[in-house]
Amino acid sequence: MVKWNKKTGALMKQIIVVRRDLKMSKGKIAAQSCHACLGSYKKADKEKIQKWENDGQAKIVLRVDSLEELLEVQKLAILNKIPNYLVVDQGRTEIPPSTVTCLGIGPDEDLIIDKVSIDLKLLS
């Protein structure tokens, strides 16, 4: 039986951290977030993927205001040994080639993900 976490509604989650300073359109953010989701998913441990899939595949989209902030979050993910994937855009639509747009982290357990995301705000 899966226990429910009151804060997020799940025991496992994945986060997507988006750079707000790029002022991407909603569609661009959605596409880049999908890249981040799949990229970090592919790096995750199979057992954690299974738990996450069985637990509803919770995803939370958060924001940072700069590349520097995004890279700091990635450093924390690496230090905590959480699978992560940095998205670098190819520059075919809205932004220049090689622009880092977002970061996927997890899936992993809530408490582990919170180590890198607790101070971040939701993307709105």
DSSP per residue over 45-98, as a string? Answer: -HHHHHHHHHTT--EEEEEESSHHHHHHHHHHHHHTT--EEEEE---SSSS-TT
pLDDT of res. 83: 97
The reported pTM is: 0.90
Residue ranges of domains in the chain, CATH in brackets: 15-122 (3.40.1490.10)
Output the tens digit of pLDDT for each of the chain's 124 residues.
Answer: 344 555 545 589 999 999 999 999 999 999 999 999 999 999 999 999 999 999 899 999 999 999 999 999 999 999 999 999 999 999 999 999 999 999 999 999 999 999 999 999 999 9
